[in-house]
């Protein structure tokens, strides 16, 4: 076994800064230059913030000069998905309806990172209001996959994944409502962690579906995901559903001997590529070699997880997006005769087609005569799914599944059929329905050289077990991983 | 099968205009999406009431007064507002 196992980028960069081999300003400048060079081909960043980044870097350099120890994420260049509110920096959810909107407060996650001088390089692309699987529903156009720009970066956090995979940020924060962190991480060959619902505050995350949304890290290694998770998890009185979570970094590196890994056939039934099946079977074999025990599971409830998800997510979205009326912020139509006309024209001109479809579906399932058949039924089935998934954790410690039944889509795929695209979320939505933590980590590449992701799922607030299982796999099998995309800042 | 009339009714409730040109393709898309959502009604499994994800409820705390955001900051998003308010044109 070679000695240079993958270490996290974050610790490596901090070490370089503290031992004087690079200043934070030089490091930041390298990232900004790389963004200038590579971003036109990727469309990962939709707003770069060089002044803020360099000001922060200067503060970090002052601390370094005085020999003051750095906080775990201090001085590390990073990015935020454009639905995370940033005081004084335009935040649009990549929607025309929020054009020009500048928040006057920071999201909880950005407040805690800013307090430790995280270097914000800019805001990254996403599907409008996080509704989509390819980032192509963005008003700025889609983000491309660093492994092949003819393929999408995934979505909805496609910009963050594209930027991190192309080394245009050391890490980023995305949000995951039905797979929006894990799916693009899988497509871009990196790590994406969707924490337990309630582990990380949603304050300042512009809402899509409040009972499903969760913020989490997108990184190149499991160690980095653990470090970022530890920084952002915690109770917040501004989010009444948030009670915080336990720090995970100290427990990484334990043995996987005797760990029970559940494998539910239903997750594998929908896989559409043989090389994805093969990569997952290899991963299962790798876990057995590490001393883990594979436990076969049956989860028939998964067959109705997708329609349940879409009904509930759209119902919540229709209500959450009711606030966009053009009166208080963002876009307002220019010509109108009445207030009602102003609201209708603003919404019709400001929302893109997928957002409109989801608002219509949401209001349809909530409307009189359909509420019981759709919304109520889906809500009750949510309980079935939740109980069934919880019960599996009496038999196993983590579940192993594909993240997506396929590798990255070619550009334009998602515009052909909405329902076809929704079906590709089959492996990611159950975690959101049940509020569980899930992580996608790379486990190989397909024939075209596109990355394949593997998903691990644990019980609520069991991030320690989840990340230990992911870390053990990464450390043992890193040679078989897909090589990093050869671009951006590689130190 | 969802009809054009139903789509127009829901669009009206959603405060979204649908033009004649859009209506045809939107009705087609929505028919597929609603048919997909309808698959929940084929599930024969017995169900229980949804209890929420966390199983926790009514965690009480003392009321606490915290400062509000400054009005002038909020109004910057509409170009400063008028007399401390959000301006909307009067009905013609």
Tokens coding A289: 């070699």
Contact between chains at A418 and B33 (C-beta distance less than 8 A):
yes
Q: Could you report the per-residue pLDDT of B41-77, keeping only the tens digit for each?
A: 888 777 788 888 877 777 788 999 999 999 999 999 9
Q: Could you report the per-residue pLDDT of A411-468, keeping only the tens digit for each?
A: 998 877 899 999 999 999 999 999 999 999 999 999 999 999 999 999 999 999 999 9
Radius of gyration of chain B (CA): 23
B8, B23 Cβ separation under 8 angstroms? yes
Q: How far apart (Å, rounded) are the C-alpha atoms in residues A438 and B77? A: 37
Radius of gyration of chain A (CA): 21
User: Does any domain span residue B72?
Assistant: no
Give residue for tokens 């025990």: A293
Compute, in degrees rounded to 10, the torsion defined by CA atoms A254, A260, A265, A270.
-10
B32 lies in which domain range?
A: 4-39
User: Does any domain span residue B64?
Assistant: no
Tokens coding A38: 């590579």
Q: Does residue A367 have an active-site annotation?
A: no
Compute, in degrees rounded to 10, the torsion defined by CA atoms A296, A301, A307, A308.
-120
Q: What is the ipTM of this complex?
A: 0.94
Residues of A in contact with B4 (CB under 8 A): none
- For residue A475, the surrounding DSSP H or E stretch is helix A463-477
Tokens coding A273: 């590529």
Contact between chains at A211 and B53 (C-beta distance less than 8 A):
yes
- Total of domains in chain B: 1
Spot the catalytic one: A23, A95, A143, A156: A156
Residues in chain A: 491
The CATH H-level (homologous superfamily) assignment of domain A9-254+407-480 is Amidase signature (AS) domain (3.90.1300.10)
CB pairs under 8 A between A and B: 145
User: Does any domain span residue B85?
Assistant: no
Give residue for tokens 């349940």: A308
User: Does any domain span residue B83?
Assistant: no
Q: What is the CB-side half-sphere exposure of residue A357 using CA atoms within 13 A?
A: 25
A17, A24 Cβ separation under 8 angstroms? yes
Across the strands, what pairs with A262? Answer: A295, A399
Cβ neighbours of A153 (radius 10 Å): 34
A487, A148 Cβ separation under 8 angstroms? no
Q: How far apart (Å, rounded) are the C-alpha atoms in residues A148 and A166? A: 11
Q: Is the pLDDT of residue A222 over 60?
A: yes
User: Does any domain span residue B12?
Assistant: yes
Coil/strand/helix, residue A46: strand
Contact between chains at A328 and B41 (C-beta distance less than 8 A):
no
Instruction: Name, in order, each residue with C-beta under 8 angstroms of A208's C-beta and a sequence gap of 6 or more.
Output: A83, A129, A130, A131, A175, A177, A313, A316, A317, A320
Q: Could you report the per-residue pLDDT of A9-26, keeping only the tens digit for each?
A: 999 999 999 999 999 999
Q: Does residue A180 have an active-site annotation?
A: yes
Q: What is the CB-side half-sphere exposure of residue B60 using CA atoms within 13 A?
A: 1
**pLDDT at site A3:** 43
**pLDDT at site B91:** 63
Q: What are phi and psi of A263, to 5 degrees?
A: -125, 110
Give residue for tokens 């995901």: A225
Contact between chains at A104 and B88 (C-beta distance less than 8 A):
no
Domain of residue B35, CATH code: 1.10.20
User: Does any domain span residue B22?
Assistant: yes
Tokens coding A313: 């997510």
Question: B5 at the A interface (CB within 8 A)?
Answer: no
Q: What is the mean pLDDT of chain A?
A: 96
């Amino acid at each position: 076994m070679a000695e240079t196992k993958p270490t996290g980028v974050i610790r490596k960069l901090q070490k370089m800064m503290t031992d004087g081999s690079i200043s934070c300003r030089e490091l930041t400048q390298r990232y900004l230059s790389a963004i200038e060079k590579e971003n036109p081909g990727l469309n990962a960043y939709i707003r770069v913030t060089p002044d803020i980044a360099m000001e922060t870097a200067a503060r970090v350099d002052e601390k370094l000069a005085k020999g003051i120890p750095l906080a775990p994420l201090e001085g590390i260049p990073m990015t935020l998905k454009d639905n995370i509110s940033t005081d004084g920096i335009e935040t649009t959810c990549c929607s025309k309806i929020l054009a020009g909107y500048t928040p006057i407060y920071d999201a909880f996650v950005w407040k805690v990172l800013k307090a430790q001088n995280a270097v914000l390089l800019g805001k990254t692309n996403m599907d409008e209001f996080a509704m989509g699987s390819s980032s192509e529903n963005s008003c700025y156009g889609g983000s491309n996959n660093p492994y092949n720009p003819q393929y999408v970066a995934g979505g909805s956090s496609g910009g963050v994944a594209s930027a991190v995979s192309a080394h245009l940020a050391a890490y980023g924060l995305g949000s995951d409502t039905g797979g929006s962190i894990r799916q693009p991480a899988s497509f871009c060959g990196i790590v994406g962690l969707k924490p337990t619902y309630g582990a990380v505050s949603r304050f300042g995350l512009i809402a899509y579906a409040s009972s499903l949304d969760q913020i989490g890290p997108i990184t190149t290694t499991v160690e980095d995901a653990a470090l970022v998770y530890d920084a952002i998890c915690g109770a917040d009185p501004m989010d009444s559903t948030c009670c915080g979570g336990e720090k995970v970094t100290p427990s990484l590196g334990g043995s996987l001997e005797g760990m029970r890994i559940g494998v539910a056939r239903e997750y594998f039934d929908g896989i559409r590529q043989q090389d994805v099946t093969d990569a997952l079977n290899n991963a299962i074999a790798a876990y057995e070699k590490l001393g883990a025990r594979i436990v076969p599971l049956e989860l028939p409830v998964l067959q109705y997880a997708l329609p349940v998800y879409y009904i509930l997510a759209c119902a919540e979205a229709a209500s959450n997006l009711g606030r966009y009326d053009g009166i208080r912020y963002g876009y307002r139509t220019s010509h109108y005769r009445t207030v009602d006309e102003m609201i209708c024209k603003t919404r019709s001109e400001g929302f893109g087609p997928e957002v409109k479809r989801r608002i219509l579906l949401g209001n349809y399932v909530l409307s009189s005569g359909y509420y019981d058949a759709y919304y109520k039924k889906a809500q009750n089935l949510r309980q079935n799914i939740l109980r069934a998934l919880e019960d599996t954790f009496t038999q196993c410690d983590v579940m192993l599944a594909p993240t997506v039944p396929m590798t990255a889509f070619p550009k334009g795929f998602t515009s052909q059929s909405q329902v076809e695209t929704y079906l590709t979320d089959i492996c990611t939505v159950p975690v959101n329905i049940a509020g569980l933590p899930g992580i996608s980590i790379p486990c190989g590449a397909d024939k075209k050289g596109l990355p394949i992701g593997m998903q691990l799922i644990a019980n609520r607030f069991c991030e320690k077990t989840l990340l230990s299982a992911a870390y053990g796999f990464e450390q043992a099998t890193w040679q078989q991983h897909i090589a990093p995309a050869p671009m951006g800042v590689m130190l | 099968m969802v009809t054009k009339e139903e789509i127009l009714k829901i669009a009206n409730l959603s405060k979204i205009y649908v033009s004649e040109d859009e209506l045809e393709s939107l009705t087609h898309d929505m028919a597929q999406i609603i048919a997909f959502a309808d698959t929940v009604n084929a599930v024969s499994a017995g169900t229980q009431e949804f209890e929420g994800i966390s199983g926790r409820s009514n965690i009480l705390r003392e009321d606490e007064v915290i400062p509000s955001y400054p009005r002038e900051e909020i109004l910057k998003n509409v170009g400063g507002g008028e007399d401390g308010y959000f301006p909307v044109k009067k009905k013609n």
